[in-house]
Structure 1
Amino acid sequence: MSCGCSTSRGADPDPTRIVPRILSVAGGAAPCLAINGDGTAVRDYVHIDDAAAAFVAAMTHLPDPGGCRRYNIGSERGTSVAELVAAAARMTGRRIPVEHRPAAPEPPQLVSNSDRAHRELHWKATTSDIDTILRDGWAARTNSAG
């Protein structure tokens, strides 16, 4: 899932995404983070800058201007919700209280295989580690609040 933001683009305004929700709690704008289940669901988070670079690579490298291809893009690293919350608490130095709600019927793990994008587009995620995503999101949130 695409997430994060760059400080030049501002904070992610979508309150339904987990990274803005976590950072909202860390920033004191929300009392706690509600999550489904025990926090063990694993997802692949891709920085918005990497997603944008993948789009540019697709526009640049596609051989047929009218053609259509599908690519999976991602960090190819899985991070659980609990790991994401712990990383945000460590990075911000703030406590992030969590409220566990009933588990939702969802796959336990979704991680991208971006081999085709690597091979055909010469694209690889370079800023999609969790610490960078959180650091950039926190900086954008802090800059837009002040």
Structure 2
Amino acid sequence: MKGTSKLTVTNGKPIKITIKTLQQQDGQLNKYQQEFSGRLAKVKENTYLRYEEDQNLTVTFKVDEKGIWLTRNGSQMKLRLYFDEAKHYETNYQTPFGAIKLTCQTQKVLFEEENAKGQLAVDYQLFSGEELLGEYKIRLQFEA
């Protein structure tokens, strides 16, 4: 991400993150919940939440005045999504097998934070061309 080269998982205030994800793909509903140790950082008007899912995958949420960026960087993959209810966002999902072009359509964006405690909620759909790949709901809570 441009402008965040100084931000690492070890910068910022330590926080506990609880993330719940609902994924509906091919008629099946998958639920995921996990807790992570992460970091909360403020850089100019932007707020960053960052954690490592494993040694090879770093997840960053960047909240700006218009929406929320989600970046997942790993040794074998890279995905960057932008959540803004007013826009569709096109991106490339980098996999070991090549790039997959995706379109993200956001239904809901919410971010609240006060005194290093808060929540983030995003509902969105992912498309490859005209094909709906899945519907997703992210619910993330954090506190110092």
Instruction: Output the TM-score relative to the length of structure 2.
Output: 0.28
Higher gyration radius (CA): 1
- Decide which structure has greater strand share: 2
Higher RCO structure (Cα 8 Å, ≥6 apart): 1
